[in-house]
Amino acid sequence: MCYAKRYYTVLESGKVGQLNAVPSTTRSEVIKSLIIISKYVGCYERFKAALKSYGIKNARPDALAAFVRIYNNTNSNLDEWFSQVNPILSPPENLLLKFLRLTGLRCSEGIESFNLIIELSQKQRLHEYLSRDTGILEHFRYKGKFLRGTKNAFISIVPESLICEIAGSPFVTYAVITKKLQRRKIPTRISELRDFYGTFMIRHGLVAQEADLLCGRIPPSIFVRHYFSPAIKELKERTLKALEEMGVKGLQ
């Protein structure tokens, strides 16, 4: 929506060449947003032809950049970062970091979920979010909050004791956390918790498709879309077992 508002004039003016000036890191998302708008207003074919004439294409994922990220990852020293931020942040803020580490949610999703648990608990409606049958947080029930096209969160499996602890916590905000860290010139490494989670879960009992599911990814493969059907209760048991090991191995 933000990109569509910012670059909508490209569709009106027809000056598609302006997209070449958009940073390569965001150009693909800008083009996708304009494609959606062009289909809605009925000028998709004209916009598509203009892109072709200017030789502008959606950028494909850079394999080298992905390799460099993997090769230079610093997740192994996240425990040192936690020891730095623990005395700086308040107990609710540290509880949020623990929640993010144990769910693999994106930061915005994690804060949304954290505060939603508190809100529903105060209204005696937590059962609408935390399934009584499975004990699983069901994000998919709140489409506007957790289902956002390419970035989704479907379910999270965490110990119910953690949910109870969050339910009695005050609300938290991302801005307060970042300001506290910035004042002390400590890097904000919250986004790395998701990377750590996915890698850890695959190494401790889950297959890639199950880790993807918990991270909100449904790959376009035929197998996943039509045949992959893990037993949720059994998946919960293996996930909780892996989370226990995560607690033992540090990052407490």
Measured CA to CA, the distance from residue 162 to residue 95 in angstroms comes to: 9
In a domain, 61, yes or no: no
Kindly state the average pLDDT of the residues 61-77.
75
Same-domain status, 237 and 150: yes
In a domain, 63, yes or no: no
Kindly state the average pLDDT of the residues 159-166.
96
pLDDT of residue 59: 64
Same-domain status, 117 and 228: yes
Same-domain status, 146 and 181: yes
Instruction: Indicate whether 251 pLDDT > 80.
Output: no
Instruction: Indicate whether 217 pLDDT > 50.
Output: yes
The token duo for 218 is 């449904």
Q: Please count the structural domains in the chain.
A: 2
Same-domain status, 8 and 101: no
In a domain, 68, yes or no: no
In a domain, 70, yes or no: no
In a domain, 62, yes or no: no
Range of the domain at 126: 75-248
Same-domain status, 199 and 132: yes
What Å distances lie between residue 64 and 8, 28, 67, 68, 193, CA to CA? 32, 17, 5, 6, 22
User: Which range (79-83, 118-122, 244-248) has the least confidence?
Assistant: 244-248
Instruction: Indicate whether 250 pLDDT > 50.
Output: no
Measured CA to CA, the distance from residue 220 to residue 217 in angstroms comes to: 9
Percent pLDDT > 90 in the chain is 62
Same-domain status, 220 and 115: yes
Same-domain status, 44 and 162: no
User: Which range (57-61, 66-70, 93-97) has the least confidence?
Assistant: 57-61
Q: How many helices (H) and strands (E) does the chain have?
A: 14, 4
In a domain, 174, yes or no: yes
Whole-prediction pTM: 0.77
pLDDT of residue 108: 94
pLDDT of residue 62: 66
In a domain, 60, yes or no: no
Same-domain status, 186 and 101: yes
Binned at pLDDT 50, 70 and 90, residue 148 comes out as confident
Q: Which of 133, 87, 135, 153 is nearest to 239 (CA)?
A: 135
Same-domain status, 98 and 217: yes
What does the CA dihedral 121, 130, 250, 89 come to, rounded to 10 degrees? -30
The phi and psi torsions of 229 (rounded to 5 degrees) equal -145, 75
CATH number for the domain spanning 145: value is 1.10.443.10
Same-domain status, 91 and 25: no
Q: Kindly report, residue by residue over 15-61, the tens digit of the pLDDT.
A: 888 887 787 778 888 888 888 888 988 888 888 888 888 788 776 66
Same-domain status, 96 and 202: yes
Same-domain status, 139 and 99: yes
Kindly state the average pLDDT of the residues 132-161.
93
pLDDT of residue 115: 98
In a domain, 209, yes or no: yes
The token duo for 66 is 């992905």
